[in-house]
């Protein structure tokens, strides 16, 4: 049995305050305080409000986590906190809290790239996923395919030219008068819709570059809705949702196939909010071109377990430096 190594993970990059404690790779506890209800009434995340909510939620969550696991702060071996990318105010709450706790408890602190966190999410439950593999990160802010040569050795193969896939879902939902976040709403209505009724474009499907673009797709949806409105016709919302979802999934799968062809790597992991989408999950799981590893649904969206995992892995790779961790909202490349 491996020696005890306790990591406290903290995630506050957007609208979810997440806290988790791991012993090596084993999850001892995980908590998430989602702000979806708070932001939903505004149709999107309000950054200042999100930061204030993290301030209210974070310390009580950490307290609960320590109480529940009967661990004292000083027993921790590592604190891993998301340092970017994300919303400045939200990141600062997490980073400053982590810094203070690390000093008070005398525990090393490591800053984690949120994207590397997502990259680790599928590894939480699938210990058999080993590099090299290709990682599709599809969230509200990012859509990219990364070649994972080894942990810590990443190559960005391609990304979106404009909107991220999650952003496209959120904007499409807004056009259709649905709640934020849009992805789960569109998925729900798609279940009773016809995915072939509208021939929405599958963006950049046939280019020989690994790249995505979703803003044209959103515009195609908007024009379709306008057409129904102008003709005073009822909007076939379920069919629109299903057709939109089909186009997003097809575009992601097309570029994964291309990435497999170009790299010869046929192991795929997917993570980020959009990887919770059932249509995408089915397409990934039934592909004949690659084998896919997916996180549990609850770990597709932002959470602290993935941050703790990524932080511990960085620590093991010798990347801990005894220097100040600084929040960086535009931190991008891994
Ligand atoms: O990874 P995440 O929680 O936050 C970011 O780091 O951005 O992703 C949130 C995004 C939102 O845009 C949301 O609409 C989308 O993921 N999403 C989904 C689903 N669940 C969440 N998109 C499609 N289908 C879903 N079931
Ligand atoms: Zn995220």
* Integer Cα distance of 120 and 305 in angstroms: 9
Q: Are 86 and 14 in contact (CB under 8 A)?
A: yes
Domain 6-120+300-316 has CATH 3.40.50.150: no
Reply yes or no on whether the pLDDT at 322 is more than 90: no
In CATH, the architecture of 130-294 is 2-Layer Sandwich (3.30)
pLDDT in tens, 113-152: 999 999 999 999 898 999 999 999 999 999 999 999 999 9
Q: Are 104 and 79 in contact (CB under 8 A)?
A: no
* Integer Cα distance of 192 and 201 in angstroms: 21
Tell me, in angstroms, the distance from the centre of ligand 1 to residue 76's CA: 31
Pairing of strands 267-271, 291-293: parallel
DSSP 8-state class, residue 73: G
Q: Which residue lies with its CA nearest to atom 14 of ligand 1?
A: 183
Tell me, in angstroms, the distance from the centre of ligand 1 to residue 277's CA: 8
pLDDT in tens, 10-25: 999 988 899 999 999 9
Question: Which one of the ligands is nearest to 166 CA?
Answer: 1
Among 104, 248, 132, which residue's Cα sits nearest to residue 190? 248
pTM reported for the whole predicted model: 0.94
In the chain, where are the structural domains located? Answer: 6-120+300-316, 130-294
Question: Which one of the ligands is nearest to 170 CA?
Answer: 1
Q: Which residue lies with its CA nearest to atom 23 of ligand 1?
A: 183
State what percent of residues in the chain have pLDDT above 70. 97
Question: Which one of the ligands is nearest to 142 CA?
Answer: 1
State what percent of residues in the chain have pLDDT above 90. 86
Report the residue among 249, 301, 329 best suited for mutation to probe ligand 1: largest number of ligand atoms under 8 A from its CB: 301
pLDDT in tens, 269-310: 999 999 999 999 999 999 999 999 999 999 999 999 999 999
Bond prior to 181 in cis (omega within 30° of 0)? yes
* Integer Cα distance of 92 and 84 in angstroms: 10
In degrees rounded to 5, what are phi and psi of residue 259?
-65, -40
Same fold, 6-120+300-316 and 130-294: yes
Tell me, in angstroms, the distance from the centre of ligand 2 to residue 276's CA: 12
Cα→Cα distances 113→62, 166, 310, 314, 326, Å: 20, 19, 9, 10, 11
């Amino acid at each position: 049995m491996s020696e005890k190594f306790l990591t406290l993970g903290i995630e506050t990059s957007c609208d979810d305050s997440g806290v988790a404690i791991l012993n090596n790779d084993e999850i001892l506890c995980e908590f998430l305080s989602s702000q979806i209800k708070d932001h939903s009434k505004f149709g999107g995340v309000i950054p200042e409000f999100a930061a204030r909510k993290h301030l209210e939620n974070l310390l009580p969550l950490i307290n609960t986590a320590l109480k529940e696991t009967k661990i004292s702060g000083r027993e921790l071996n590592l604190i891993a906190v998301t340092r970017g990318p994300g919303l400045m105010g939200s990141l600062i709450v997490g980073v400053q809290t982590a810094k203070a706790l690390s000093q008070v408890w005398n525990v090393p602190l490591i800053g984690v790239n949120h994207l590397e966190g997502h990259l680790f999410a599928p590894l939480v439950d699938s210990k058999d996923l080993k590099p090299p593999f290709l990682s599709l990160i599809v969230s509200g802010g990012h859509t990219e395919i990364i070649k994972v040569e080894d942990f810590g050795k990443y190559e960005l193969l391609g990304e979106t030219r404009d909107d991220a896939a999650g952003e496209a879902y959120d904007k499409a939902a807004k056009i259709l008068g649905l709640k934020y976040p849009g992805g789960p709403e569109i998925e729900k209505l798609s279940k009773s819709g016809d995915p072939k009724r509208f021939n929405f474009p599958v963006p950049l499907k046939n280019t020989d570059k690994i790249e995505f673009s979703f803003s044209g797709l959103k515009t195609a949806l908007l024009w379709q809705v306008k057409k129904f409105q102008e003709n005073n016709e009822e909007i076939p919302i379920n069919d629109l949702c299903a057709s939109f979802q089909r186009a997003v999934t097809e575009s992601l799968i097309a570029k994964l196939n291309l990435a497999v062809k170009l790299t010869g790597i046929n192991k795929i992991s997917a993570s980020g909010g959009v990887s919770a989408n059932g249509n995408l999950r089915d397409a990934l799981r039934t592909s004949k071109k690659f084998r896919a590893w997916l996180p549990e649904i609850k770990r597709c969206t932002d959470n602290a377990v993935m941050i703790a995992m990524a932080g511990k892995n960085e620590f093991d790779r010798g990347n801990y430096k005894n220097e100040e961790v600084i929040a960086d909202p535009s931190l991008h490349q891994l």
